[in-house]
Structure 1
């Protein structure tokens, strides 16, 4: 009897959807604060966060070979690190949100979320068909 491995069936798309959802919240927050004096735009390094999520999922924890090395613990599946965005043209009031840049990044993130969703949907449909013997 063969068992179904959801990690093999879904690949990185479940982690990608979770991270894209978190990134959407960050980008939407930037847009909501576009007129807030002193607000600093934030973002997530999606590629680094996805690699971290995949490394933890596959059990590739970092190990220290010297007592002076960092252990690499503490990131365990939580929220990815938020970084500040470097402004192209900072405003006089200190706000670093560029509405056009944020909208562009938000829309691209939404399209990539939709792509992962469609892949997961078709994978689940394929698994259901396989279980039903079709």
Structure 2
């Protein structure tokens, strides 16, 4: 097993890819804020990852009471981000449901999330470098 093939690296990579996809979707929503009948899209990743982890625990009957406990089952499978469209709402008279303030807020949140993923990845690489170099 390679150093960069661990579950945590795979999850961080999935999170970074989801943040990139989310930024593209948010930019598309903003670009189409005045397009008649346009319905906003959104990206789901963290909620899918959480459902996967909760489903794994209930499926195996294993309860993790400490972060140092081993995970059981297929926890190494990292889900991919899914793009969904919100067809149920309407914000404007032209049947468009893009709220520019909400999209900009979600974009700022996404940037913070992306920065935290990259920071965590850098931290793990730094720890590995310290172990390998012995400094």
TM-score (norm 2): 0.69
8 A contact 1:19–1:50 mirrored in 2: no
> In structure 1, which of residues 58, 67, 84 is the aligned counterpart of residue 76 of structure 2?
58
Deviation digits for residues 55-112 of structure 1, max 9, x if unmatched?
Answer: 87625xxxxxxxxxxxxxxxx965514231654x620111110000111011101101
Match of 1:26 in 2: 25
Higher helix share: 2
User: By how many angstroms is 1:5 displaced?
Assistant: 6.2
Runs of 4+, deviation exceeding 6 Å: 52-57
> RMSD of the alignment, in Å?
3.1
Which moves more between the two structures, 4-13 or 17-26?
A: 4-13
- Aligned residue-pair number: 116
Structure 1 residue 53: deviation in Å? Answer: 8.1
Distance 1:119 1:78 in 2: 19
For structure 1, the 5+ residue unaligned runs are: 60-75
Who is 1:84 aligned against? 86
Distance across 2 between alignment mates of 1:9 and 1:92: 46
Normalising by structure 1, report the TM-score: 0.69
Shift of 1:126: 1.5
| Structure 2: 5+ residue stretches without partners | 57-73
